[in-house]
């Protein structure tokens, strides 16, 4: 059994094996992603949750080859992205798109919406301007915007929710296979958030997409995911089918996250002091299990021996010596 034992033999669209990302910050190594493996089947949505600093965004960037990878493999359609030349990568990126958290900052304020959405087409070498315009209009309509109204305008004329629709249109215009959504609704108001989540679900069905959906809000992740991976301080703590993971979490950290969600019901009293402390620094992760410094079940064994991911239910894995079930 190792950190990749949960990988499935399914010919996954994306398969990440033993991914390690370490940066040097002022000469000190920071362990952002430490031996993480996961796979996503075609048409599946994998949710990835964790607190800030756990490495989930670094992981997303590493998958897209937007940041350095220290070791490990990122297989997209069984081809290793980490070994590709820039030219090969550029071709491959047509199939891989990304949506970021801040919808306004991710759009160039000086350009018109029509140009912003058409740019991926230009980079991909679609030289026929009329063809580009048709694609742009079609995708804008798909995300619920009126092309006649929006193409000539600039990002500042739109609200956050509309800018996120534009970002989604830009990600969809090349008809990619995989979209990585990095906190796509975190910056949006509650009333707009569900509009965008429903839109992502509709686009997934319409374009046959596969999604890696990163968020820190567990309820949001649950709403869209088939499987969920929980990350803590650069490592996977738990991965499993969505309903099982929420109904019967195995890792104490997952339970901590679930208990911390504020419930909009005044008859449910907020649990007192369930989570303890804050994540330790990724500069000096604890020995053994990285969660042990905050874990109510931790023993000496957790400090000396690192827990491996083990299958404890069908397709449901946790890295814990003393799982909850």
Partner 1 sequence: MSSGSLLVAKEVCVDLATPRGMLRAVDGVDLTISAGHTIGVVGESGSGKTMLSRAILQLLPRKARLSGRIQFDGFELTKLDRWALRRLRGRSIAGVFQDPMTSLNPVLTVGRQLTETIQEHFGLQNSAAVNRAMELLEAVGIPEPEQRLRQYPHQLSGGMRQRVVIAIALSCEPKLLIADEPTTALDVTVQAQILDLLAREQKRRNMAMILITHDLGIVAGRTDEVAVMYAGRILEHAPTKKLFREMRVPYTQALLAAIPKIDMPPHTTLPVIPGRPPDLARRIHGCAFAERCNRVAERCRIERPPLLAFEEPDHQAACWIPLNVPRRVSS
Least distance between partner 1 and beta carbon 219 (Å): 4
Using rule CB under 8 A, residue 271 touches partner 1: yes
SS3 letters for the chain?
A: CCCCCCCCCCCCCEEEEEEEEEEEECCEEEEEEEEEEEEECCCCEEEEECCCCCCHHHHHHHHCCCCCCCEEEEEECCEEHHHCCHHHHHHHHHHEEEECCCCCCCCCCCCCHHHHHHHHHHHCCCCCHHHHHHHHHHHHHHCCCCHHHHCCCCHHHCCHHHHHHHHHHHHHCCCCCEEEEECCCCCCCHHHHHHHHHHHHHHHHHHCCEEEEEECCHHHHHHHCCEEEEEECCEEEEEEEHHHHHHCCCCHHHHHHHHCCCCCCCCCCCCCCCCCCCCCCCCCCCCCCCCHHHCCCCCHHHHHCCCCEEEEECCEEEECCCCCC
Query: Binding residue for partner 1 (CB under 8 A) from 23, 111, 216, 297?
Result: 216
Q: Residue 107 or 220: which CB sits closer to partner 1?
A: 220
Using rule CB under 8 A, residue 113 touches partner 1: no
Using rule CB under 8 A, residue 46 touches partner 1: no
Determine the Cα–Cα distance for residues 157 and 116; give it in Å rounded to an integer. 14
Using rule CB under 8 A, residue 265 touches partner 1: yes
Q: Residue 115 or 217: which CB sits closer to partner 1?
A: 217
- Stretch of 5-13, 94-102, 218-226, 307-315 lying at the interface with partner 1 (CB under 8 A): 218-226
Cα–Cα distances (Å) from 169 to 141, 174, 197, in that order, read: 9, 9, 14
Using rule CB under 8 A, residue 130 touches partner 1: no
Q: Residue 65 or 162: which CB sits closer to partner 1?
A: 162
Determine the Cα–Cα distance for residues 150 and 164; give it in Å rounded to an integer. 13
Q: Residue 130 or 190: which CB sits closer to partner 1?
A: 190
How would you classify the pairing of strands 235-241 and 96-99?
A: unpaired
Q: Residue 61 or 165: which CB sits closer to partner 1?
A: 165
Determine the Cα–Cα distance for residues 107 and 99; give it in Å rounded to an integer. 11
Site residues (CB under 8 A) for partner 1, limited to 134-163: 159-162
Least distance between partner 1 and beta carbon 69 (Å): 26
Site residues (CB under 8 A) for partner 1, limited to 50-89: 51-52
Using rule CB under 8 A, residue 264 touches partner 1: yes
- Stretch of 69-77, 88-96, 106-114, 183-191 lying at the interface with partner 1 (CB under 8 A): 183-191
Query: Binding residue for partner 1 (CB under 8 A) from 92, 195, 303, 312?
Result: 195
Least distance between partner 1 and beta carbon 321 (Å): 21
Q: Residue 86 or 264: which CB sits closer to partner 1?
A: 264
Query: Binding residue for partner 1 (CB under 8 A) from 8, 219, 296, 299?
Result: 219
Site residues (CB under 8 A) for partner 1, limited to 286-315: none
Q: Residue 106 or 164: which CB sits closer to partner 1?
A: 164
* Total residues interacting with partner 1, rule: CB under 8 A: 50
Using rule CB under 8 A, residue 243 touches partner 1: yes
Beta strands across the sheet bearing 28-40: 28-40, 14-25, 71-76, 79-80
Query: Binding residue for partner 1 (CB under 8 A) from 130, 262, 300, 325?
Result: 262
Binding positions for partner 1, rule: CB under 8 A: 51-52, 159-162, 189-195, 197-198, 201, 216-220, 222-226, 242-243, 246, 256-275, 278
């Amino acid at each position: 059994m190792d950190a990749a034992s949960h990988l499935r033999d399914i010919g996954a669209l994306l398969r990440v094996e033993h991914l390690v990302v370490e940066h040097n910050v002022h000469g000190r190594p920071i362990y952002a992603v430490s031996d993480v493996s996961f796979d996503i089947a075609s048409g599946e949505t994998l949710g990835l949750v964790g607190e800030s600093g756990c490495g989930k965004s670094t992981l997303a960037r590493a998958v897209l080859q937007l940041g350095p990878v220290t070791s490990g493999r990122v297989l997209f359609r069984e081809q290793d992205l980490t070994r590709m030349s820039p030219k090969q990568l550029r071709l491959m990126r047509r199939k891989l798109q990304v949506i970021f958290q801040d919808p306004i900052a991710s759009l160039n304020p000086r350009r018109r919406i029509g140009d912003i959405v058409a740019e991926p087409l230009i980079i991909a070498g679609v030289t026929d301007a009329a063809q580009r315009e048709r694609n742009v209009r079609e995708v804008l309509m798909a995300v619920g915007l009126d092309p006649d109204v929006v193409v000539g305008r600039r990002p500042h004329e739109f609200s956050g929710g509309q800018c996120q629709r534009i970002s989604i249109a830009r990600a969809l215009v090349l008809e990619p296979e995989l979209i990585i959504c990095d906190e796509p609704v975190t910056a949006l108001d509650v009333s707009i958030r569900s509009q965008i989540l429903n839109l992502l679900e509709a686009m997934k069905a319409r374009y046959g997409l596969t999604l890696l959906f990163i968020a820190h809000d567990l309820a949001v992740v649950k709403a869209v995911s088939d499987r969920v991976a929980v990350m803590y301080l650069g490592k996977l703590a738990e991965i499993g089918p969505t309903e099982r993971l929420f109904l019967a979490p195995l890792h104490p950290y997952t339970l901590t996250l679930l208990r911390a969600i504020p419930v909009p019901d005044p008859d449910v009293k907020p649990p007192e002091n369930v989570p303890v402390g804050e994540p330790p620094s990724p500069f000096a992760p604890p020995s053994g299990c990285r969660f042990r410094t905050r874990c109510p079940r931790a023993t000496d064994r957790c400090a000396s021996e690192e827990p491996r991911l083990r299958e404890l239910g069908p397709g449901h894995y946790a890295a814990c010596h003393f799982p909850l079930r």
